[in-house]
Amino acid sequence: MFKGLMASVSGVRGIIGEGMTPEVALLWASGFGSWLRGKKVVLSRDSRPSGAMLAYTVKAGLLSAGCDVDDIGITTTPIGALSVVRRGAGGGIIITASHNPQQWNALKFVRSDGRMLTAEQFLEVERIVVNGPLRSVSWDKIGTEVNWDGADQMYLSGVLGLGLLDLDRIRRKNFRVAFDGVNGGGSFIYPKLLEALGCQVTSINADGSGNFTRPPEPLPTNLGDLGAKVSAEKCDIGFAVDPDGDRLAVVDERGNPIGEETTLALAIKSVLEQRPGPVVVNCLTSQVIDDIAAQYSVTCYRTKVGEAYVSEKITDVHAIVGGEGNGGVILPELHAVRDAGVGMALILNLLSGSKKSISEITAQLPSYYMVKASHPVGENNPVELVDATASKFPNDSLTRIDGVRIGYPDGWVQMRPSNTEPILRVYAEAKTKASAEKMAHDLINKINEVAATL
């Protein structure tokens, strides 16, 4: 029914004009408004040029279902999610394709508590979209819309009010910080946050235009310009985000990216130094998190990949911190949503309490090497391809929290269908680069062999 549309716990996304069209957005917004039975919805979007077009259709679908709409405009996913709670809304829709290329866009659905929908709740919305009935109110019950401009100040107050932060100590350091906003939704708010933390900020790719002048995912290979800026300006640290501002990458004072897995490790270390407690990460996150948790004698729980799964487990076990190894830091003291701004604040707090540079702090973490690869599924069903490939390995080496993880004496390799793209994601981790690369290479070869027989 929705050709070219990726529908999962991460929302619905597709290429504009193909899988994601005004008609599709209208239908899903109507379905979400029907699921909420006409409760208020907070609407936000990142800076992609297609966002305005989708916002009009989403707003129409919500208003027709009787939902009042608080439109907060272009901003980050963390601010959109937090606004749902602070505005007392029944839910939220965030128009963003996150790290996907510019031709993509998507709808993310938020619950009344500011968390993303669970898998079960998303299926409930999907059933309404597919089977109906869609709520359509009479002329005198149509929702009303307002534009709310208080979201940025609300967010700044929330982050700066975190009990874990020693604001005076951070501000005394007067850190020099370089920031790369990929011209996305965080282009303006994150420099404001850094300045409020006493930092001298120099920004690149931060005009909010939605013109992604680098690949939108803040991977080390995409951060050359930020590294050069850090070196040229003699900065203490560099921060980069994705277009919707929920994922954070770090460049050290020498201009070298430290890797998004290390972003999460530093943030978690910052929290546990002050407030030890349970940690939750997804099953693809580096073993370094388990090692850090062990240092502080706390439990590290693992979930399926996806922010909704991590957030749900954080709530269930009353975790103090969590996230995903893609640079997504979740601090439930503010909200159970990946938040790059919170990650920046936590890492600056860690750095301010040490006499070491960020490269020296990073060098003291347990060392692993991780390979992350994407593999197209072609015409194959991704779940069937994963299962068929798994049958070629001994059962006692397999773990199935999400997709299939294959354990080896010196590391692990995992394959799983992506929630956001028609690909398999292959991750491998070991103590050495050669071992991790070999595990990933061997698994991809096996996937190709199996795909040829399906």
98 is catalytic: yes
Distance from C-alpha of 397 to C-alpha of 428, rounded to nearest angstrom: 14
What radius of gyration do the chain's Cα atoms show? 21
Distance CA 426, CA 404 (A): 10
Are 5 and 35 a contacting pair, CB within 8 Å? no
Catalytic residue among 44, 98, 187, 311: 98
DSSP letter string over 256-271?
Answer: -B--HHHHHHHHHHHH
Q: What is the DSSP secondary-structure string of 2-57?
A: -TT-EEETTEEEEEBTTTB-HHHHHHHHHHHHHHTTT--EEEEE-S-TTHHHHHHH
Distance CA 75, CA 298 (A): 35
What's the token pair of residue 4? 């070219």
Residues 6+ apart with CB under 8 A from 411: 428, 429, 430, 431, 435, 436, 439
Structure tokens at 133: 């009935």
Burial (CB < 10 A; 0-12, 13-18, 19+), residue 264, is buried
90: Cα within 13 Å, side-chain hemisphere: 15
In DSSP notation, 160-212 reads HT-TT--HHHHHHH--EEEEE-TTSTTTTHHHHHHHHTT-EEEEES-S-SS--
Angstrom distance (rounded) from CA 266 to CA 270? 6
Which residues are catalytic, by number? 98
